[in-house]
Chain A
Amino acid sequence: MCVHVIFSLLNTFLSILYLPEICTTLFHHVHFPSRFLNLFSRKPKEPKPPSQNAPGWRLFGKVPLRENTTKDPKDSFTIQQEYQVKVGPAPGPQVQLSAARRKNLEFEPLSTTALILEDRPPNLPAKSVEEAMRHKQEYDEMVAGARRRELKEAQKKRRQMKERFKQEDSIANAMVIWNNDVLPNWDCMRNTRRVRELWWQGLPPSVRGRVWSLAIGNELNITPELFEIFLSRAKERWKSFSETSSENEIEGRYHDRESSLDLIKLDISRTFPSLFIFQKGGPYHDLLRSVLGAYTCYRPDVGYVQGMSFIAAVLILNLEEAEAFIAFANLLNKPCQMAFFRVDHDLMLKYFAAFEVFFEENLPRLFNHFQINNLTPDLYLIDWIFTLYSKSLPLDVACRVWDVFCRDGEECLFRTGLGILRLYQEVLLQMDFIHMAQFLTRLPDDMAADNLFSCITATQMLSSNRKWGQVFSALMKDGSKEIANHSPAPRS
């Protein structure tokens, strides 16, 4: 009796343990060789001749070929087909299909990984009808469950593939439109509704650089020749710099040192370190150094400021060297970027204040939560704005933000910030000061572009009917009053 119970349990356990897929595949035509049987039964017995009804262990393994039941391991059956083969009468052409396929199989799979007990070994009492029925039912349920899972899995895969094809299609289509329609007629088309909508979807990588260049423009009238001049000047400085070595620099020239090439060298290896292309020996190392070095010679009054290396790197990933430099210099010349890279504190506070106006308007609950916790926007916005999100967001997402930034200008940067806050609003609402600060300065790296962009779309840049530019210039006129209110300094 005791043995009986144990085997009953073992039976259930085994059928649960082993995947039904495997069980069904070879259920009927594999039999347990005696030497394996020995492992399980104390008294070895002669193996019974193979028969469907013979009670005993059945193992998947090396067994003689049986007609019509061999199976090509290359031929992947779905659970459904296997199930139908096993269970028998199921309507539809699929049964015939699978049966027909079976006939063509030439090889017996060599799997010895699975073991199943249909009936007990002959030396043990047979299952009762009730028990056998129960096992059969359990087994059927498992097979059906596995079948459902597999179907679901297959559906999901199909959906994903479809989605990917769709995406690839739309990128290909968009590329044609950009190349044939938009780029040749840039000036008259760039602000049309159709182009703006297409732009919002994200630029195809192959035209991204060109569109960015055109959108950023070249107000500074920098030519590739001019770039070469500044580059060679940078190279000279580099040479004399390495000769004199940084040790000899005098205190008074501190500002010089900062803008110097030493800091650029330090930062290049710390720019997108995970990509391994800007580090020393990497393919874009020299390019990045050239663009940054040339810029410090072109604008010694601004010099090199941390954060720039990320911007230059993103441009280099999408543009040729000279074009990247031209875009870089013009981009940094925009009012918002100038304010930040010159670290014009008062002006930065104006930007933060304007941001807070729209923050309160869009996400009042979170705004309030931030206020209570003394979490001021400078703590997270500085990193986001200085690097145009290229350090804080996954690179592909950041590039899409750049697309919109090129279309909409600085407003987009703050709108994106609000999009991020909206995306994580519920999580943030549960956090205290330090956890929010930590979260926002190190955003999750699995952020999906679509989720972020729907949150950006949901963010209205209107405050009592005033647009970003109007709010900002009102704050500029307001002067010191606003600064006092929005200074990040007082925290106690």
Chain B
Amino acid sequence: MGSDEAYNFVFKVVLIGESGVGKSNLLSRFTKNEFNHDSRTTIGVEFSTRTIQLKSLIIKAQIWDTAGLERYRAITSAYYRGAVGALLVYDITKHLTYESVERWLKELYDHADPHIVVMLVGNKTDLGSERSVPTEDAKDFAEKNGLLFLETSALESTNVETAFQNVLGEIHRKVSSKEVTRGSISAVSLSSPVPRAAGDPEEKKPCCRNL
């Protein structure tokens, strides 16, 4: 199962942010084009994958959807290890979920690769009338902290695809600037040197056991 899929890279991406901001729905919108008004609470971590084509490369996104509860952070922070991308999600109608972004960011940098690509995602733009986080504020914050930024609506399927695509594209840009050869089957890591260059550029094999 899945082992016969061909791809050039596997990128591990984590979804983080407060409880109830819509992480699981962003993920199900991206991987299955589904939205649940009453999705179940995520306990611990759940997983999903989607393979996308980026230029001539096939990239498999391995997405870890973590529980947002503060108390769980002791556990979930362990899941950041090996992640090369993160979507830090807040709810544009709940200012508290935005206020905690800084704490999430710190948590992320404490445990993840320092070169991790992070996108700040303001979700639930479909509830525009209840907005309590101005777009400009979040945009400024993202710029100051070197984060990508987008506002999305998992419900209306606005910008969800773009958000993930941009993150994956940016990861790819970082990876290739480090001169990872096309077709490399090494585990993708942004900080450490590439363990081995690919001998055969045509080779497409499952990889990333060690993410």
Contacts and interface: CB of A to CB of B under 8 A. Distances in A.
A379 B48 contact: no
A3 interface: no
Interface string B34-59: 00101111111111110000000000
A343 B72 contact: yes
B47 A438 contact: yes
Main SS at interface, chain B: loop
Given A270-B38, A491-B81, A247 B96 contact: yes
Given A266-B20, A271-B41, A488 B74 contact: no
14 contacts: A247-B95, A247-B96, A263-B20, A271-B41, A273-B36, A306-B43, A310-B41, A372-B209, A379-B44, A383-B43, A427-B1, A431-B3, A434-B62, A491-B82
Interface stretch (B63-71, B122-130, B141-149, B153-161): B63-71
Interface of A: 246-247, 249, 251, 254-255, 257-258, 263, 266-267, 269-273, 279, 303, 305-307, 309-310, 343, 345, 348, 372-374, 378-380, 382-383, 386-387, 391, 427, 430-435, 437-438, 441-442, 487-492
A251 B99 contact: yes
B193 interface: no
B43 A273 contact: no
Contacts of B132: 247
Nearest to B49: A434
B197 interface: no
Nearest to A382: B44
B177 interface: no
Given A247-B96, A491-B211, A387 B43 contact: yes
B47 A488 contact: no
B2 interface: yes
Given A251-B99, A378-B78, A431-B2, 12 more contacts: A246-B96, A257-B96, A258-B70, A258-B71, A306-B42, A306-B67, A383-B43, A386-B43, A432-B2, A437-B47, A441-B44, A490-B81
Contact of A492 (B48, B74, B75, B211): B211
B45 A434 contact: no
Given A254-B70, A255-B70, A306-B67, A442 B46 contact: yes
A269 B74 CA distance: 25
Nearest to B64: A437
B169 interface: no
